[in-house]
């Protein structure tokens, strides 16, 4: 009956999760295999391709998002869960709890009175010469002496079937969110199989985490404010941070969103400072406080160590916990377990030797090929060396290095990993696998997540699996012995939720991002309109008099994008078609320029991803589409193709403001976004008008036509005036007409309204920018445009020029005022040092 | 000897600073040979937070946050400190190469505390150049403290005091090559040499009394903060040596505190928001009690 296992061949020399040594399927796998066989190969494959689309749409990614090469990697999930029997799981759970207890007790000693060092139990240089031991964290006294609120442990199964610990993750134990997402995808894809397999649920683990974080709050009498601190988008697991934030209901913040005042930590919101009680941090110890930890870190919160030491804020895991990740400590755990807990260790570690001890070093050197060599302290990232794969001279060098400074190295046994069945090309094949398990502290003990994040390697000879190197993942199922407990974190009762209409908690950083999102989208739109106007003239034979306005348009484009054509201005674009085309493609596609269309679209997309939880799904889809639209053609394509692309691009760009208006609540977040949008439009329009109209050509009509096209006001003009274009009515329509949504006056009116609404935020009142915004509206309203159409002796409309310049300057100064008042926290910090040793030249000090 | 000490540091920024968070190591720590009779810290603008704690090395540290927008910050510490002669150990010391093996297996508090000063720290990394430089001082069987004294002597003789040759981030290798620097460079170099041969060495921060030119009055603000080296031997304890002036620390030295290097004990270190470029200016006055009346007259004039 077990069709799917017919062709399954376990990997020689490794433990097979699926089959025993006789090739019989292990009992815990049977119910699932029966279900899989019932689904059938085609059905499984169809369901799985649907599931993969869901993963892509949910935007589940792992790895960075910070360069033009777009390194976001979609999350790789295998549909076949790893199954661990309940008896075996009980054993693993006990071992994990013991390990959590042990690491926690050790941390309490090493950050406390260091009896382990004073008694000579541990070689003291493991701590004293360890950069993961943060002396400034010694005054921190965690609640209940719990340094670790959460622990992740990487487990691997040796060929003899025994589970062993490969690595402990104590600073930012990541992966639990991915495990949950895996569970949701797999259980939705195979609902019957999931239900009938009676699998232990994961929600209880997250409920325990949420409860524990709530209990940790130092302010007992009120509901605590709990935040998740993320390093931001550059973090490889940013998706998980955002995911946990939504799932647990705690806001996701970055270092810049927090500030220490007194000994308290506050979240900077538009409504003012809000005290934070508990921080679930997802950044490394050294990145958390540039004052007391790594001064070069731009991710941290200055004073956080001090605040944590005062007990006014609780940070989970406690700052300094990374010490327990020191590889050189691994060999000492069995001994520490007996000494500190008075227990025999239940889970063993992968055999590890620290070369800092003489006999251990000799043991390693005697049989070097048996070992994998790693750094003893986590000074550098994964520096794993495989002596048996080395050239003779590399080996000699390694031996020399170890002898030279033995304490810097550990040796670990090169264990073969067990293999689990994976779904590859419509059949089950074995892949090496590991399991990351999770433990959370509770009030009276610890709780293990029943399951975890299984990881697989696509190579058949792997011994070390790491997601950084492109492995896959799996759900892990523990069949329940009895009825599974069903628990959901969704709110139970409507009446428990307080009604809230404000956006008091909107952080300044999010507001800043929304502001710039608005500016970049509008910048992209106007550049696209300008480019389209130019390309249309280059590709269509519509105008009998030729296109005398083209050089003017190109000049204006160069001002808008801050990018001049190479080898001087293009005087006759039609004659110099090659140069013109090269220049235009540069402005559209070149990703090394800092203010062209590619840059504006790229920034809109990047910022859009940062504020994804603040804009509607439809708006997000628009932003997601911009980049794809741009790359649907290449610089080598025909100009007509590029022109069509610009046409297509204008659809989502124009839809952006409408969607924002319709689908975002008109709270402060929306106001910042729209204000950025309006400011950009006002400034850019004034700039374009100034470039095109201040120095009029002998025959101005084609320029005026182009101006109307860029301002997308041609139709309005024609319906109103039914005649050739003239300067005065055009200026009226594009500058002063408050009923034209493209006019400068229209933008200024909305900016004024936004600023007025923002001043309703608590404790603000009449503000200088409010006065200035209103003044600016009146200035434009009261201006007699008929006075600025005349040219002076030099042939310039100097009055128009100074009028438009005034508008640009005043809007930009409003932008500065707004940024200073609400958004200046987004500024980064720098370090300050004094000097010792006499009168050195001050500038030599950073 | 009793001293009146005043140390003012002025930070000027090219653009306004919205917040600044500092850790200050300015208040001298109490020691068997040093009593702090009084000490007063003033920070302008008025800090929102000012709190004192004892750091990991036992130094007095102050956390200070200024949250008002400002373009200049002043930190002034005024202390009255009594310094007495230090007790000299009469024990015969261990040979320099016996110290590290002894420390590795010792469970005595003092040894354990000293052991951490054997390793690389943020600024001082042991290196081949420093080891080579130290080698001539390491005669077979020579006592650890004597090796250190010889090193101090050689650095003082072979190196030139030059305030413009180096900056805070000049590496030890370069100081060794140019043979120039200030007290901080000499201290870091000597620490590097000592650690490279396996001796625990720490960085002391404080002040030294400078003698005014004969017949001339002491000039206000002419003194500077100073740095010197501590070296440890399990039999004799710590010995403080000043390679800049080629002498052991005595009653002319006021100790603020110590650490593995400058970074652990820098007088003012901080993080700020805004500020653009900044310049630092410091004025130190260290007036011995014998000149108290004189300096008062001077101030009245």
- Candidates A135, A291, A825; nearest CB to B56: A135
Has residue A468 got a pLDDT over 60?
A: no
- Given an 8 Å threshold on Cβ–Cβ distance, is A835 in contact with B118? no
**Chain A: residue nearest B168 by CA?**
A845
Tell me, yes or no, whether A652 and A675 share the same domain: no
Tell me, yes or no, whether B243 and B195 share the same domain: yes
Mean pLDDT for A484-502 is 51
Please identify, among A664, A691, A706, the residue that sits at the C-terminal boundary of a domain.
Answer: A664
Helices (H), chain B: 99-104, 109-115, 128-134, 144-158, 172-178, 183-196, 262-265, 292-300
Has residue A94 got a pLDDT over 90?
A: yes
Tell me, yes or no, whether A150 and A252 share the same domain: yes
On chain A, the residues whose CB falls within 8 A of the CB of B121 are: none
Q: Which of A217-221, A339-343, A380-384, A642-646 has the lowest mean pLDDT?
A: A380-384
Q: What is the CATH number of the domain that holds A373?
A: 3.30.1490.270
Helices (H), A694-834: 701-710, 714-721, 727-731, 744-758, 768-781, 798-818
> Residue A827: its pLDDT value, please?
53
Has residue B49 got a pLDDT over 80?
A: yes
Residue A574 within a domain? yes
On chain A, the residues whose CB falls within 8 A of the CB of B274 are: 824, 827
> Residue A503: its pLDDT value, please?
56
Q: Which residues pair with B44 in a beta bridge?
A: B74
On chain A, the residues whose CB falls within 8 A of the CB of B182 are: 836-838, 840
Report CA-CA distances (Å) from B26 to A491, A598, A744, A833, B45: 54, 52, 57, 13, 18
Tell me, yes or no, whether B24 and B162 share the same domain: no
Has residue A493 got a pLDDT over 60?
A: no
Q: Which of B104, B270, B274 to mutate to test the interface with A (most CBs of A within 10 A)?
A: B270
Choose between A833 and A623: higher pLDDT: A623
Report the C-alpha gap between A375 and A39 in whole angstroms. Answer: 48
Report the C-alpha gap between B65 and A292 in whole angstroms. Answer: 13
Region of residue A775 (phi > 0: left; psi between -120 and 50: alpha; otherwise: beta): alpha
Residue B129 within a domain? yes
**Residues B166/B185, Cβ–Cβ less than 8 Å:** yes
How many residues belong to chain A? 846
> What does the pLDDT look like over A678-690, one tens digit per residue?
999 999 999 999 9
pLDDT band of A396, cuts 50, 70, 90: very high
The verdict on whether omega for the bond into residue A317 sits within 30 degrees of 0, i.e. cis, is yes
Tell me, yes or no, whether A219 and A91 share the same domain: yes
Q: Output the average pLDDT for chain A.
A: 85
Residue A378 within a domain? yes
> Residue A761: its pLDDT value, please?
67
- Any B CB within 8 A of A834 CB: yes
Q: Which two tokens stand for residue A799?
A: 């009055």
Report the complex ipTM.
Answer: 0.87
Tell me, yes or no, whether B255 and B271 share the same domain: no
The highest-confidence range among A171-185, A375-389, A813-827, B88-102, by mean pLDDT, is A171-185
Q: Which two tokens stand for residue A55?
A: 């993963």
Residue B271 within a domain? yes
- Candidates A128, A844, A846; nearest CB to B115: A128
Cα B259 vs. chain centroid, distance in angstroms? 9
Cα A483 vs. chain centroid, distance in angstroms? 39
Query: What total of structural domains would you count in chain B?
Result: 2
**Residues A491/A497, Cβ–Cβ less than 8 Å:** yes
In this structure, the strands spanning A278-281 and A226-229 are parallel
Cα B197 vs. chain centroid, distance in angstroms? 22
The verdict on whether omega for the bond into residue A16 sits within 30 degrees of 0, i.e. cis, is no
- Beta strand residue intervals within A252-291, DSSP E: 252-253, 258-261, 264-269, 272-276, 278-281
- Any B CB within 8 A of A835 CB: yes
Tell me, yes or no, whether B107 and B253 share the same domain: yes
Tell me, yes or no, whether B31 and B144 share the same domain: no
> What does the pLDDT look like over B11-44, one tens digit per residue?
998 888 888 889 999 999 999 999 999 999 999 9
Residue A37 within a domain? no
Q: Chain A: nearest CA to B205, how far in angstroms?
A: 8
Tell me, yes or no, whether A710 and A645 share the same domain: no
Mean pLDDT for A604-621 is 76
> Residue A619: its pLDDT value, please?
77
Choose between A820 and A586: higher pLDDT: A586
Tell me, yes or no, whether B116 and B247 share the same domain: yes
Could you tell me the residue range of the domain that residue B61 belongs to? 2-84+265-300
Region of residue A568 (phi > 0: left; psi between -120 and 50: alpha; otherwise: beta): left
Residue A730 within a domain? yes
Tell me, yes or no, whether B171 and B279 share the same domain: no
- Candidates B55, B167, B227; nearest CB to A840: B167
Q: 3-state class of A438 per DSSP?
A: strand
Tell me, yes or no, whether A659 and A673 share the same domain: no
Tell me, yes or no, whether B57 and B189 share the same domain: no
> What does the pLDDT look like over A722-742, one tens digit per residue?
777 889 999 999 999 999 999
**Residues B82/B34, Cβ–Cβ less than 8 Å:** yes
Q: Which residues pair with A830 in a beta bridge?
A: B272
Residue B90 within a domain? no
**Residues A550/A530, Cβ–Cβ less than 8 Å:** no
On chain B, the residues whose CB falls within 8 A of the CB of A354 are: none
Tell me, yes or no, whether A269 and A367 share the same domain: no
Please identify, among A664, A679, A713, the residue that sits at the C-terminal boundary of a domain.
Answer: A664
Tell me, yes or no, whether B188 and B127 share the same domain: yes
Residue A763 within a domain? yes
- Any B CB within 8 A of A380 CB: no
- Given an 8 Å threshold on Cβ–Cβ distance, is B271 in contact with A829? yes
Q: Which of A475-484, B85-94, B277-286 has the lowest mean pLDDT?
A: B85-94
In this structure, the strands spanning A427-442 and A453-456 are antiparallel
Residue in A340, A300, A343, A439 with CA at minimum distance from that of residue A110: A340
Q: What is the CATH number of the domain that holds B277?
A: 2.60.40.2250
- Any B CB within 8 A of A138 CB: yes
Residue A16 within a domain? no
**Residues A18/A8, Cβ–Cβ less than 8 Å:** yes
On chain B, the residues whose CB falls within 8 A of the CB of A135 are: 55-57
- Name residues whose C-beta falls within 8 Å of residue A256's C-beta, 6 or more positions apart in sequence: A268, A509, A825, A826, A827, A828
Interface of A with B in 306-345 (CB under 8 A): 306, 309
Angle at A489 between CA A484 and CA A495, to 5 degrees: 125
- Given an 8 Å threshold on Cβ–Cβ distance, is A290 in contact with B51? no
CB neighbour class for A321 (10 Å; exposed up to 12, middle 13-18, buried from 19)? buried
pTM summary value: 0.79
Give the other-Cβ count within 10 Å of B293's Cβ. Answer: 9
Residue B119 within a domain? yes
Mean pLDDT for A408-414 is 90
Has residue B276 got a pLDDT over 80?
A: no
Q: Which of B271, B274, B286 to mutate to test the interface with A (most CBs of A within 10 A)?
A: B271
> What does the pLDDT look like over B72-91, one tens digit per residue?
999 999 999 999 999 877 77
Q: Measured on CA atoms in the order A268, A271, A273, A274, is the torsion positive or negative?
A: negative
- Any B CB within 8 A of A124 CB: yes
CB pairs A-B closer than 8 Å: 153
Query: What total of structural domains would you count in chain A?
Result: 4
Residue B164 within a domain? yes
Report the C-alpha gap between A687 and A682 in whole angstroms. Answer: 9
Tell me, yes or no, whether A579 and A727 share the same domain: no
> Residue A566: its pLDDT value, please?
83
Interface of A with B in 262-281 (CB under 8 A): 262-263
- Any B CB within 8 A of A705 CB: no
Choose between A828 and B213: higher pLDDT: B213
Report CA-CA distances (Å) from A58 to A34, A242, A722: 30, 12, 51
- Any B CB within 8 A of A845 CB: yes
Q: Which residues pair with A429 in a beta bridge?
A: A422
On chain A, the residues whose CB falls within 8 A of the CB of B169 are: 846
**Residues A595/A641, Cβ–Cβ less than 8 Å:** no
Has residue A766 got a pLDDT over 70?
A: no
Choose between A196 and A509: higher pLDDT: A196
Report the C-alpha gap between A745 and A819 in whole angstroms. Answer: 22
- Any B CB within 8 A of A129 CB: yes
Tell me, yes or no, whether B250 and B277 share the same domain: no
Q: 3-state class of A178 per DSSP?
A: helix
Residue B229 within a domain? yes
The contacts found for A47-54 with CB under 8 angstroms, 24 or more apart, are A47/A79, A47/A189, A47/A190, A48/A79, A48/A189, A48/A423, A50/A189, A51/A77, A51/A79, A51/A185, A51/A186, A51/A188, A51/A189, A52/A77, A54/A185, A54/A188
Q: What is the CATH number of the domain that holds B186?
A: 3.10.620.30
Report CA-CA distances (Å) from A216 to A74, A137, A147, A213, A441: 35, 18, 12, 5, 11
CB neighbour class for A296 (10 Å; exposed up to 12, middle 13-18, buried from 19)? exposed
Could you tell me the residue range of the domain that residue A384 belongs to? 351-413
Mean pLDDT for B148-159 is 96
On chain A, the residues whose CB falls within 8 A of the CB of B271 are: 290-291, 295, 302, 829-832
Tell me, yes or no, whether A570 and A629 share the same domain: yes
Q: Which two tokens stand for residue B95?
A: 């040979």
Helices (H), B159-204: 172-178, 183-196
> Residue A263: its pLDDT value, please?
86
Residue in A660, A664, A674, A668 with CA at minimum distance from that of residue A270: A668
Residue in A476, A487, A488 with CA at minimum distance from that of residue A197: A476
Q: Which DSSP helix (H) or strand (E) runs through B181?
A: strand B180-181
Tell me, yes or no, whether B115 and B231 share the same domain: yes
Tell me, yes or no, whether A630 and A599 share the same domain: yes
Q: Which two tokens stand for residue A748?
A: 């200024």
Mean pLDDT for A686-704 is 89
Residue B57 within a domain? yes
Q: Chain A: nearest CA to B214, how far in angstroms?
A: 21
> Residue A146: its pLDDT value, please?
93
pLDDT band of A587, cuts 50, 70, 90: very high
Tell me, yes or no, whether A320 and A364 share the same domain: no
> Residue B34: its pLDDT value, please?
97
The contacts found for A815-822 with CB under 8 angstroms, 24 or more apart, are A815/A679, A817/A768, A817/A769, A817/A772, A818/A515, A818/A675, A818/A755, A818/A758, A818/A769, A819/A512, A819/A515, A821/A767, A821/A769, A822/A270, A822/A508, A822/A511, A822/A512, A822/A672, A822/A758
> Residue B220: its pLDDT value, please?
64
Report the C-alpha gap between A727 and A53 in whole angstroms. Answer: 54
> What does the pLDDT look like over A209-251, one tens digit per residue?
999 999 999 988 778 999 999 988 777 788 788 888 878 888 8
> What does the pLDDT look like over A325-361, one tens digit per residue?
999 999 999 999 999 999 999 999 999 999 999 999 9
Tell me, yes or no, whether A456 and A574 share the same domain: no
Residue B193 within a domain? yes
**Chain A: residue nearest B21 by CA?**
A302
Residue A339 within a domain? no
Residue A25 within a domain? no
Report the C-alpha gap between A467 and A434 in whole angstroms. Answer: 11
- Candidates B21, B166, B281; nearest CB to A303: B21
- Any B CB within 8 A of A290 CB: yes
Q: Measured on CA atoms in the order A584, A585, A589, A591, is the torsion positive or negative?
A: negative
Choose between B162 and B114: higher pLDDT: B114
- Candidates B107, B182, B271; nearest CB to A832: B271
Tell me, yes or no, whether B187 and B40 share the same domain: no
Tell me, yes or no, whether A606 and A694 share the same domain: no
- Candidates B18, B167, B227; nearest CB to A845: B167
**Residues A60/A455, Cβ–Cβ less than 8 Å:** no
> Residue A562: its pLDDT value, please?
86
Q: Chain A: nearest CA to B183, how far in angstroms?
A: 5
């Amino acid at each position: 009956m077990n069709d799917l296992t017919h062709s399954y061949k376990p990997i020689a020399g490794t433990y097979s999760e699926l089959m025993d040594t006789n090739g019989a399927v292990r009992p815990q796998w049977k119910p699932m295999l029966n279900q899989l066989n019932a689904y059938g190969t085609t059905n499984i494959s169809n369901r799985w391709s649907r599931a993969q689309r869901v993963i892509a749409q949910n935007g589940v990614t792992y790895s960075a998002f910070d360069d033009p090469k777009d390194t976001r990697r979609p999350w790789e999930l295998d549909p076949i869960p790893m199954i661990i029997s309940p008896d075996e799981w009980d054993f693993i759970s006990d071992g994990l709890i013991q390990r959590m207890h042990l690491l926690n007790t050790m941390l309490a000693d090493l950050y406390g009175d260091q009896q382990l060092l004073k008694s000579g139990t541990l070689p003291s240089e493991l701590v004293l010469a360890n950069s993961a031991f943060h002396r400034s964290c010694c005054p921190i006294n965690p609640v209940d002496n719990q340094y670790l609120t959460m622990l992740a442990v990487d487990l691997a199964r040796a060929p003899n079937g025994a589970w062993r610990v490969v690595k402990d993750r104590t600073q930012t134990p990541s992966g639990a969110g991915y495990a949950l997402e895996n569970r949701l995808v797999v259980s939705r894809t195979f609902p019957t199989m999931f239900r009938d397999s009676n699998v232990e649920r994961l929600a209880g683990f997250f409920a325990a985490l949420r409860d524990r974080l709530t209990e940790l709050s130092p302010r007992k009498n009120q509901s605590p404010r709990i935040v998740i601190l993320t390093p931001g988008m550059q973090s490889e697991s940013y998706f998980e941070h955002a995911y946990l934030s939504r799932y647990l209901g705690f806001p996701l913040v970055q270092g810049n969103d927090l500030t220490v005042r007194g000994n308290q930590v506050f979240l900077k919101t538009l409504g003012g400072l809000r005290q934070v009680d508990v921080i679930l941090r997802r950044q490394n110890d050294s990145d958390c406080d540039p004052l007391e930890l790594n001064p070069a870190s731009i991710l941290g919160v200055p004073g956080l160590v001090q605040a944590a030491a005062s007990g006014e804020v609780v940070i989970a895991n406690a700052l300094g916990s990374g010490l327990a990740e020191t590889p050189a400590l691994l060999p000492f755990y069995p001994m520490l377990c007996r000494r500190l807990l008075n227990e025999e260790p239940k889970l063993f570690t992968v055999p590890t030797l620290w070369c800092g001890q003489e006999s251990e070093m000799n043991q390693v050197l005697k049989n070097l090929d048996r070992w994998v060599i790693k750094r003893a302290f986590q000074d550098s990232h994964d520096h794993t060396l495989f002596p048996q794969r080395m050239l003779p001279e590399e080996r000699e060098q390694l031996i020399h290095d170890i002898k030279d400074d033995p304490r810097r190295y550990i040796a670990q046994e090169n264990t073969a990993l067990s293999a689990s069945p994976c779904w590859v090309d419509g059949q089950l094949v074995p892949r090496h696998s590991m399991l990351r398990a999770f433990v959370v502290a509770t009030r009276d003990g610890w709780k293990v997540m029943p399951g975890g994040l299984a990881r697989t390697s696509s190579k058949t000879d792997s011994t070390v699996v790491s997601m950084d190197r492109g492995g896959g993942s799996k759900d892990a199922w523990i069949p329940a012995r009895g009825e599974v407990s069903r628990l959901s974190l969704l709110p139970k009762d409507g009446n428990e939720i307080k009604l809230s209409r404000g956006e008091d908690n909107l952080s300044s950083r999010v507001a800043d991002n929304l502001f710039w999102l608005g500016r970049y989208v509008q910048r992209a739109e106007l550049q696209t309109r300008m480019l389209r106007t130019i390309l249309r003239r280059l590709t269509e034979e519509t105008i009998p008099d030729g296109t005398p306005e083209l050089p003017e348009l190109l000049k204006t484009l160069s001002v808008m994008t801050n990018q001049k054509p190479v080898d001087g201005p293009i005087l006759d674009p039609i004659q110099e078609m090659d140069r013109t085309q090269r220049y235009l493609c540069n402005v559209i596609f070149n990703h090394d320029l800092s203010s062209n269309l590619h840059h504006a679209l790229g920034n809109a997309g990047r910022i859009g991803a940062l504020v994804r939880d603040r804009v509607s799904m439809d708006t997000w889809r628009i932003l997601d589409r911009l980049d794809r639209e741009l790359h649907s053609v290449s610089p080598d394509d025909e100009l007509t193709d590029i022109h069509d692309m610009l046409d297509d691009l204008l659809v989502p760009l124009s839809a952006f403001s409408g969607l924002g208006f319709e689908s975002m609540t008109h709270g402060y977040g929306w106001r910042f976004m729209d204000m950025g949008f309006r400011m950009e439009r006002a400034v850019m329009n004034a700039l374009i008008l100034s470039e095109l109209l201040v120095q009029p050509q002998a025959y101005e009509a084609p320029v005026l036509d182009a101006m109307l096209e860029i301002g997308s006001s041609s139709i309005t003009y024609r319906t109103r005036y039914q005649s050739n274009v003239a300067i005065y009515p055009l200026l009226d329509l594009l500058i002063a007409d408050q009923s034209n949504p493209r006019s400068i006056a229209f933008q200024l009116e909305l900016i004024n309204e936004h600023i007025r609404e923002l001043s309703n935020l608590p404790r603000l009142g009449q503000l200088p920018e409010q006065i200035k915004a209103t003044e600016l509206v009146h200035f434009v309203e009261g201006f007699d445009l008929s006075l600025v159409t005349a040219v002076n002796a030099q042939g310039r409309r100097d009055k128009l020029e100074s009028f438009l310049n005034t508008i640009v300057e005043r809007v930009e100064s409003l932008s500065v005022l707004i940024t200073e008042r609400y958004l200046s926290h987004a500024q980064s910090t720098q370090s300050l040092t004094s000097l010792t040793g006499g009168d050195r030249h001050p500038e030599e000090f950073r | 000897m009793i001293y009146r000490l005043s140390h003012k540091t002025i930070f000027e920024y090219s653009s306004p600073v919205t917040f600044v968070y500092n850790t200050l190591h300015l208040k001298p720590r109490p020691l068997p040979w040093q009593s702090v009779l009084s000490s007063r810290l003033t920070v302008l603008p008025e800090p929102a937070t000012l709190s004192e704690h004892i750091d990991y090395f036992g130094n007095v540290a102050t956390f200070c946050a200024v949250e008002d927008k400002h373009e200049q910050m002043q930190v002034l510490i005024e202390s009255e400190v009594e310094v007495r002669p230090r007790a000299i150990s009469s024990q015969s010391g261990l040979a320099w190469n016996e110290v590290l093996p002894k420390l590795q297996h010792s469970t005595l508090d003092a040894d354990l505390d000293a052991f951490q000063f054997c390793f690389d720290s943020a600024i001082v990394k042991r290196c081949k150049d420093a080891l080579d430089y130290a080698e001539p001082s390491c005669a077979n069987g020579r006592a650890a403290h004597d090796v250190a004294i010889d090193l101090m002597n050689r650095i003082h003789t072979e190196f030139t005091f030059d305030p413009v040759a180096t900056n805070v981030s000049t590496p030890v290798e370069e100081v060794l090559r140019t043979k120039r620097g200030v007290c901080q460079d000499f201290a870091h170099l000597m620490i590097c040499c000592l650690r490279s041969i396996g001796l625990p060495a720490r960085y002391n921060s404080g002040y030294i009394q400078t003698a005014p030119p004969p017949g001339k009055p002491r000039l206000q603000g002419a003194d500077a903060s100073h740095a010197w080296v501590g070296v440890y031997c399990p039999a004799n304890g710590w010995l403080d040596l000043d390679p800049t002036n080629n002498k052991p620390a005595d009653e002319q030295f006021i100790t603020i505190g110590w650490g593995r290097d400058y970074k652990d004990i820098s007088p003012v270190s901080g993080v700020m928001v805004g500020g653009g470029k900044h310049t630092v200016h410091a004025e130190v006055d260290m007036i011995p009690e014998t000149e108290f009346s004189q300096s008062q007259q001077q101030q009245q004039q």
